Structure 1
């Protein structure tokens, strides 16, 4: 059994022991993972504001073409494109959107996710010794395609569960939470083994992990008040190291604690 105090103490101690490297790795993770996943998720989210944005994207080419023609036309007569031309431009706009989403997904699958696994490996190694920054590139030299495939399916499954209902999506995200850490430890594991292991590790732990996340809310508020400066220099690396300590505790139990005594 673990406690929040135990994990946070170990995470903070390890973070401060290798301060600047941990800050840098956490910053890399924030820029790559949160930025890219937010962009992709934003395209798929359904709400009135996004619906208006999608409608505007589809009709922008048509409106631009009509405006250009009207600006250069003689007289005051307004010119409107025929339905066939509007349909062609609308299809082109949709294709451009699909290509954009596809490019973002490819960027996430082949670059962002492997870097995330490398960052998680850095945090794991950093718990008990000063980890090297080169750990960030770990996935690119250790069964890269297997890591790409497993992380891709993790992203897709989480997204699809989130489309069904918010709560199941959150539950599944916690069930899959340990996948990057497992791959950082065992890059040769099969997809079935990795998903099963993460499910096993998080069995009965999802709510406690959720409460662990909530325990950082006060720090997040302080981070907002400092324009995220405190987040970059303290809160985010502190949280990342605490999450690594959670995996270590779930995977190795009391063994990890005994080795550090």
Structure 2
């Protein structure tokens, strides 16, 4: 069973020597995750013009304002779907590599764009977000529970971008089945840091995000090992087919080279 202290200690250990890169990755995740939200009142229209003449003059401007607002909203949604989701999954991959003790590179953030799973990642993340949104629209509490159930989907896709969306959601549900409340408490445990960061005009919260993201990367690894140990999933399900093919080709190349070298050696000293 994992503990908050253990996960946070692991995250802090990694950040001591890799904070700058982690900050940049977390900043990207924060930007694409937050989307292009609109400030309240930016497109607010005042209908108290005082006279019918002013209303008739302002009408074209109001129409243009509404059209611009709709266009900006559509652009923000499209950006979140086709660019934001792959960047978020790539960012999670960076922190997964860090949690595994492997070299984590900034290139991981954009890795989904040149992988064979870009389309699948876009569809799966959209599918997941729509389901959570529908649960929120139906009832708030079930929506929150569902968001925790699917918390691990971006991490799963970071390991295997080509995984079927139903399998990704199923594995995330298995991983979080008995851990939703503990994950919620883990989230709450960062509130003090965010309040402290908020005192610096809100910018300070940006510097807390790497701590949170690194901790969640370690949490994913613990939950993954747990469901594999309980035979609820296999290691093969998390493997990216492209990586497997690359490893097989690399092995075959070295094997052919070794075989050739052996033949040369035998011919030379026969």
Question: What's the offset of the Cα at 1:198?
Answer: 0.8
Question: What's the offset of the Cα at 1:28?
Answer: 1.5
Could you say what secondary structure the match of 1:18 adopts?
A: helix
Question: What's the offset of the Cα at 1:183?
Answer: 0.2
Q: Does 1:251 align with 2:199?
A: no
In the alignment, is the contact (CA less than 8 A) between 1:15 and 1:126 conserved in 2? no
Q: Provide the rounded CA distance (Å) in 1 between the counterparts of 2:32 and 2:169.
A: 23
The correspondence for 2:178, drawn from 204, 217, 221, is: 204
Q: Provide the rounded CA distance (Å) in 2 between the counterparts of 1:162 and 1:10.
A: 33
Q: Provide the rounded CA distance (Å) in 1 between the counterparts of 2:192 and 2:53.
A: 58
In the alignment, is the contact (CA less than 8 A) between 2:35 and 2:76 conserved in 1? no
Question: For residue 84 of structure 2, what is the aligned residue in structure 1?
Answer: 112
Alignment of 1:4-23 (within 5 A): 4-23=4-23
Unmatched tracts of structure 1, length 5 or more = 43-49, 71-77, 256-261
Alignment of 1:56-75 (within 5 A): none
Question: For residue 165 of structure 2, what is the aligned residue in structure 1?
Answer: 191
Question: For residue 156 of structure 1, what is the aligned residue in structure 2?
Answer: 130
* Cα RMSD after superposing both structures: 3.0
Question: For residue 30 of structure 1, what is the aligned residue in structure 2?
Answer: 30
Deviations 1:86-127 (A, max 9, x none): 7x9988766554433322111100011100000000011012
Alignment of 1:58-97 (within 5 A): 78-79=52-53, 96-97=68-69
* Structure showing greater relative contact order (alpha-carbon pairs closer than 8 Å, 6 or more residues apart): 1
Q: Provide the rounded CA distance (Å) in 2 between the counterparts of 1:123 and 1:79.
A: 60
In the alignment, is the contact (CA less than 8 A) between 1:18 and 1:130 conserved in 2? no
Q: Provide the rounded CA distance (Å) in 1 between the counterparts of 2:200 and 2:144.
A: 29
For the pair shown, the structure with the greater C-alpha radius of gyration is 2
Give the 4+ runs in structure 1 shifted more than 6 A. Answer: 88-93
Q: Provide the rounded CA distance (Å) in 2 between the counterparts of 1:97 and 1:156.
A: 22
Q: Does 1:137 align with 2:105?
A: no
In the comparison of the two structures, how many residue pairs are matched? 226
Q: What is the TM-score when the length of structure 1 is the normalising length?
A: 0.75
Could you say what secondary structure the match of 1:22 adopts?
A: helix
Q: What is the TM-score when the length of structure 2 is the normalising length?
A: 0.73
In the alignment, is the contact (CA less than 8 A) between 1:120 and 1:184 conserved in 2? yes
